[in-house]
Amino acid sequence: MNVREGDAQARSTAEAVARRSYGKLVAFLAARTRDVAAAEDALSEAFASALADWPTKGCPSNPEGWLLTVARRKVIDMYRGRRRAEIASERIQIMAEGLDAAAADADIPDQRLALMFACAHPAIDPSIRAPLILQAVLGLDAKTIASAFLMSPAAMSKRLVRAKDKIRQAGVPFTVPEREELPHRLDTVLDAIYAAFAEGWTDPGGTDLARRDLAEEAIFLSRVVTELLPSEPEALGLLALLLHAEARRPARRNPNGDYVPLVEQDPALWDHQLIDEAEAALNRASAMGAIGRYQLEGALQSAHVHRCRTGQANWAEVVQLYDALFAIVGSPVVAINRALAIAELHGASAALESMQAVAADERVAEYQPYWAARAELLAKAGAHDEARQAYEIAVGLERDPAVRRFLQQRQSALNP
């Protein structure tokens, strides 16, 4: 094998390990020191060493163990270099324990879940939890995450550093919470994964690579959680929700790149394998007999898919699901979607009436879906002047040019 072939092989092995094991290695390295930043730095140096070493000496039989051993040595060097007295020596000792054992043992314990619980700990600012998980578990860089979350890369890096400092300084535990605490704490992890997916979702065309990847990464994380916590119905509910949404991605744009609303989508373009997987997850969840937010959202997706596939209206069931969801979440977002379902069942006026409480909530003033829903309902109710104004605001608040065009077309279809 020549150098170039060795180089290519080393690179592809390193990439495969990075994809499969990055979070596992960070979790294992940081679990006892709680120093996520040091674990990440050491691991990235270990990957650099691998790329220098493997092409000439060949890939090790246990690349994961090789990387872990090198990374642990780097962490020890780092702490020695800092010479931070007793803290350093304590961490060095923790790191040194089982250093050789790790290299020999092919089975590195999977502590990714504990890492996710640390990242989504109540002591961590909720808005940074999803970015933190994406970085610590998947190794995404701050720049990629910042673009997806519409933040400046500098500000995102700073906030990630601060969050990692907090984990270390405040002693946030790297553990999966006990039974009685689990459901509540799991919610924060699921919320963070959902936030990551939602950011990826804002690019339904899938043209923005950073965004599309984020949706895929969120599904990957969601699968990891269901594998490690197989009897948590909400984790399955979230997976079902994400898979359903992802399954319809190919149908959300026509060949001209125009936005296609759900009612006009061609079910033949949906990914039926993903839908089947989503349905199976939902069934498993419902057998566990503890309803929750994500299962309800998953069930709503399932109901929409069923209606579109069979042509049988199921709006009464949909409204019921939204009622249950609203009782749990109570967010204006749910009330808006519920209103659209009420319109199908009882007409636009009833739907507008149901949105009155939402209209008073000042958070919706800059929330595009509220104005788009309101415009549609007003148009249906025949209040074309008001509908025109609402469309105008919805267009002004939209960031996706295809949706903007769609709303403009709806607006110009109104009676003059």
Partner 1 sequence: MQYLLMLYANETGWSNLTKAQQEQGMAAYTAYTEALKKAGVWKGSNRLQPINSATTVRVADGKSQVLDGPYIETKEQIGGYYLIDVPDLDSAISWAARCPSASHGVVEVRPVWAMQASSAAPAS
Contact 6, 58 (CB under 8 A): yes
- Encoded tokens for 122: 């109540």
Binding status of residue 209 toward partner 1 by CB under 8 A: no
d(CA 416, CA 414): 6
Nearer to partner 1, 187 or 392 (CB): 392
Give min distance, CB of 322 to partner 1, in A.
Answer: 27
Nearer to partner 1, 238 or 372 (CB): 372
Provide long-range contacts, Cβ within 8 A and 24+ apart, for 141-146.
144/210, 144/213
Please provide the distance, in angstroms rounded to a whole number, between the alpha carbons at the two ends of the chain. Answer: 74
Q: Which of 62, 73, 405, 414 binds partner 1 (CB under 8 A)?
A: 405
Candidates 12-20, 106-114, 147-155, 294-302; binding stretch for partner 1 (CB under 8 A): 147-155
Nearer to partner 1, 73 or 405 (CB): 405
Name every residue whose Cβ is closer than 8 Å to that of residue 139 and which is 6 or more positions away in sequence.
18, 22, 23, 26, 40
Could you say which residues in the range 366-385 bind partner 1, by CB under 8 A? 366
Nearer to partner 1, 168 or 404 (CB): 404
Q: Which residues pair with 253 in a beta bridge?
A: 259
Give min distance, CB of 405 to partner 1, in A.
Answer: 7
Binding status of residue 77 toward partner 1 by CB under 8 A: no
Contact 410, 391 (CB under 8 A): yes
Q: Which of 151, 176, 193, 247 binds partner 1 (CB under 8 A)?
A: 151
Binding status of residue 404 toward partner 1 by CB under 8 A: yes
User: Which DSSP category does 177 fall into?
Assistant: P
Which residue type sits at 239? L
Could you say which residues in the range 340-369 bind partner 1, by CB under 8 A? 365-366
Nearer to partner 1, 257 or 267 (CB): 257
Q: How far is CA 181 from CA 86, 112, 222, in A?
A: 34, 18, 20
Binding status of residue 254 toward partner 1 by CB under 8 A: no
Binding residues (CB under 8 A) for partner 1: these are 150-152, 155, 365-366, 392-401, 404-405, 408
